[in-house]
């Protein structure tokens, strides 16, 4: 673990990408925990059924109770606008956020532009978790193809603005852009 000085070396925006159950959220949580700063967790998941409620509960238990949690399925910008500069924030995840935007039949381009502006304006360092959805087969329906395309573009935009981009595959992290904070071990 490293002390609170390391958070100063965290870029203002970081992105952790990976497939489902790759270990991306756990790595992102460790990155923020190692900062020594007050941690905020922006949760974008919605509990539509019992299985999802169980997943959310398990995720909360895994990360522990020393996070300030904000339930923000869509209005992430409002949370980001009110975070102090000496805190850190985890947005988990951009994939579920985009799903919520699409299910609401909102203007995806406008919503994504608003998210990117809010990430850029946030005073605290932000780590965004997102799924890499482009490595699978081409979906067989228009909605799934539109989602894959929107998610790919959003990931590219966040990665372009981020100072640190990491990919996680089978629990193994890879730095794709930038550098990890001094002293942070990206191993599980």
Catalytic residues: 59
Residue spans of beta strands (DSSP E) within 27-171: 39-43, 68-71, 88-92, 126-131, 164-169
Going by C-alpha positions, the residue among 51, 50, 33, 49 that lies closest to residue 41 is 33
Going by C-alpha positions, the residue among 111, 150, 104, 113 that lies closest to residue 130 is 150
What residues contact 168, with CB distance under 8 A and at least 6 apart? Answer: 16, 17, 18, 22, 23, 24, 27, 174
Q: CA geometry: angle at 137 spanning 133 and 139, to 5°?
A: 85
A 10 A CB-CB count for 188 gives 11
The string of DSSP codes covering 67-78 is SEEEE-SS-HHH
What residues contact 47, with CB distance under 8 A and at least 6 apart? Answer: 53, 56
């Amino acid at each position: 673990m490293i002390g609170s000085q390391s958070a100063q070396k965290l870029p203002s925006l970081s992105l952790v990408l990976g497939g489902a159950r790759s270990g991306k959220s756990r790595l992102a949580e460790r990155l923020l925990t190692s900062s020594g700063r007050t941690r905020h967790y922006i949760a974008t998941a919605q509990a539509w059924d019992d299985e999802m409620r169980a997943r959310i509960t398990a995720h909360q238990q895994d990360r522990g109770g020393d996070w300030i949690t904000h339930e923000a399925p869509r209005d992430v910008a409002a949370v980001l606008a009110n975070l102090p500069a000496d805190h850190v924030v985890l947005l988990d995840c951009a994939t579920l956020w985009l799903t919520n935007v699409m299910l609401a039949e909102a203007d995806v381009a406008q919503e994504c532009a608003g998210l990117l502006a809010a990430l850029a304006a946030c005073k605290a360092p932000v780590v965004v978790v997102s799924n890499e959805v482009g490595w699978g087969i081409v979906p067989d329906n228009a909605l799934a193809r539109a989602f894959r395309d929107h998610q790919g573009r959003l990931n590219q935009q966040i990665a372009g603005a981020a100072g640190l981009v990491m990919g996680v595959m089978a629990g193994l992290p890879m730095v794709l852009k930038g550098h990890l904070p001094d002293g942070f071990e990206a191993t599980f």
